[in-house]
A and B are shown apart, each in its own frame.
Chain A
Amino acid sequence: QSVVTQPPSVSGAPGQRVTISCTGSSSNIGGGYAVHWYQQLPGTAPKVIINGNNNRPSGVPDRFSASKSGTSASLAITGLQAEDEADYYCQSYDSSLSGFVFGTGTKVSVL
């Protein structure tokens, strides 16, 4: 079973910068497949905030940015705001699954 690992939680004060890591393997992130990032607010479906081309859909603030290197990726939130408190997931394609794989998820708390 392919596993993509994220830290369970990260926190920061308003205005700070936080990063979320996303560690995969050669069958997904390391295989050159795109990594997408989602935000899930309580009681709602996940929403794409950054796609694999590091593009943000309309309406997503530019304080969200992403990067990728080797078998890992990361999401950065700069100028953290109270409304950013949510669960965040990375997602890629996995060649051993022949399908999608989601990261384990990270809860962002604003102190």
Chain B
Amino acid sequence: QVQLQESGPGLVKPSGTLSLTCTVSGGSISNFYWSWIRQPPGKGLEWMGYVYNAGSTSYNPSLESRVSMSVDTSKNQFSLKLTSLTSTDTAIYYCARATGTFMTPVAYWGQGTLVTVSS
């Protein structure tokens, strides 16, 4: 069974950079669509982007100037970087994987990690 686990800081400063890592167990990271999805407290889900085919990326246009994602196949991990942080970036950040192609549901989720942007 595929399992995902986010790791990274819980508190970051405004104007700083957020770096999160997702460790995948129970399956190879070499295929599939690996996503980052966030949820501000009490609000809805926002797709941030995904990395697929071991390196190709697609980002939400609303974040494209600030976000980057990558895969480390040797560690079975993928990562997120988000720059120029403001309080509106405070959210639970989930790493997730679609069942198959982009037409399939996001069936596998990490437990989520709360990131607070505050000085």
A positions within 8 Å CB-CB of B? 1, 33-34, 36, 38, 45-48, 51-52, 57, 89, 91, 93, 97-105
Contacts and interface: CB of A to CB of B under 8 A. Distances in A.
30 contacts: A1-B61, A1-B62, A34-B103, A34-B104, A34-B105, A36-B104, A38-B105, A45-B94, A45-B110, A46-B45, A46-B106, A47-B109, A48-B106, A48-B107, A51-B104, A51-B105, A52-B104, A89-B44, A93-B103, A97-B61, A98-B58, A99-B50, A99-B58, A99-B59, A100-B35, A100-B102, A101-B47, A102-B45, A103-B44, A105-B44
A60 B45 CA distance: 22
Interface of B: 35, 37, 44-47, 49-50, 58-62, 94, 96, 99, 102-107, 109-112
Contacts of A105: 44-45
A108 B62 CA distance: 29
B103 A100 contact: no
Nearest to A36: B105
A102 B44 contact: yes
A91 B103 contact: no
Nearest to A33: B103
Contacts of A104: 44
A95 to B, nearest CB: 10
B58 to A, nearest CB: 5
A47 B103 CA distance: 17
Contact of B105 (A1, A91, A98, A103): A91
Given A51-B105, A91-B105, A100-B35, 14 more contacts: A1-B61, A38-B105, A45-B110, A47-B109, A51-B99, A52-B105, A89-B45, A97-B61, A99-B50, A99-B58, A99-B59, A102-B44, A102-B47, A105-B45
